[in-house]
Amino acid sequence: MAEVEESNKPLFAGLSDISISEDIPVEGDISVPVGSQNTDNDFSTLDEPVKDTILRDLRAVGQKFVHVMYPKKSSALLRDWDLWGPLLLCVTLALMLQGGSADSEEDGRPQFAEVFVIIWFGSVIITLNSKLLGGTISFFQSLCVLGYCILPLTVAMIVCRIVLLGGASVVSFAVRLIVVTASFSWSTFASTAFLADSQPANRKALVVYPVFLFYFVIGWMILTFSPSQ
């Protein structure tokens, strides 16, 4: 009977009878276990030397450059996207298109800001276009791919500047034309290899054409570059 009575009592009913007097000491041990630093190495990179951090990022960027130069069907560019490479390439290209001395009469040449805006704004527009057409690629992945695929055109720019050191003649123009055309088609082909898979099959041409236009315009800016003398 007593047990039934006890079981009929609501839970915790007995706790109200407990009174805590001040002279009962409460003691325990509040401390973080020290031995957790070994498991933190994978998550926290705050303690490593700066050289390691920079080298790791540079190695990631370099690896993506290799992927662009030899475009195979790999998803490394898409999976670990980063925007360092595109920024580096864009700034290099815009600086090299400046031409050295700032002549006031020849201000028809593209300014640094214009090249920068064309590259980034163009990439954003192409990304929006591919998303509106129903693509499955994410916004920053697409920006990453488009930015990295400017690498062949940057290489062509360097080659053009070297060729122009020997003077501007018809032969140098022919050489520059061939180099720029080759790198422009390489860029378009490389970015198509990454972007076209994310589109439905009947809209691939609609997505590839803006990419073609984008690299064509950049190639045109490189081809018509003439250094001031």
Q: How far is CA 100 from the centre of its chain?
A: 29
Cα 86 from Cα 151, distance rounded (Å): 9
Token pair of 10 as six digits: 């609501």
Give the residue with the Cβ less far from other proteins, 64 or 109. Answer: 109
Q: Which of 106, 139, 140, 174 binds other proteins (CB under 8 A)?
A: 106
227 φ, ψ (degrees, to nearest 5): -75, 150
Between CA 133 and CA 98, with CA 90 as vertex, the angle to 5 degrees is: 130
**Per-residue mark of binding to other proteins, 133-152 (x: CB under 8 A):** xx------------------
Note whether 71 binds other proteins by CB under 8 A.
no
CB-nearer residue toward other proteins: 82 or 172: 172
Residues 174-203 contacting other proteins, CB under 8 A? 202-203
22-41 footprint of other proteins as x/- string (CB under 8 A): --------------------
How far is CA 38 from each of CA 7, 11, 32, 43, 161, rounded to the nearest angstrom?
50, 44, 14, 10, 51
Nearer to other proteins, 68 or 218 (CB): 218
Minimum distance from residue 75 beta carbon to other proteins (Å): 25
DSSP H helix total and E strand total for the chain? 10, 0
Do residues 180 and 160 touch, judged by C-beta distance below 8 A? yes
Taking CB under 8 A as the criterion, which residues in 109-138 touch other proteins?
109-111, 114, 129, 132-134
Residues at the interface with other proteins (CB under 8 A): 106, 108-111, 114, 129, 132-134, 202-206, 209-210, 213, 216-217, 220-221, 224-226
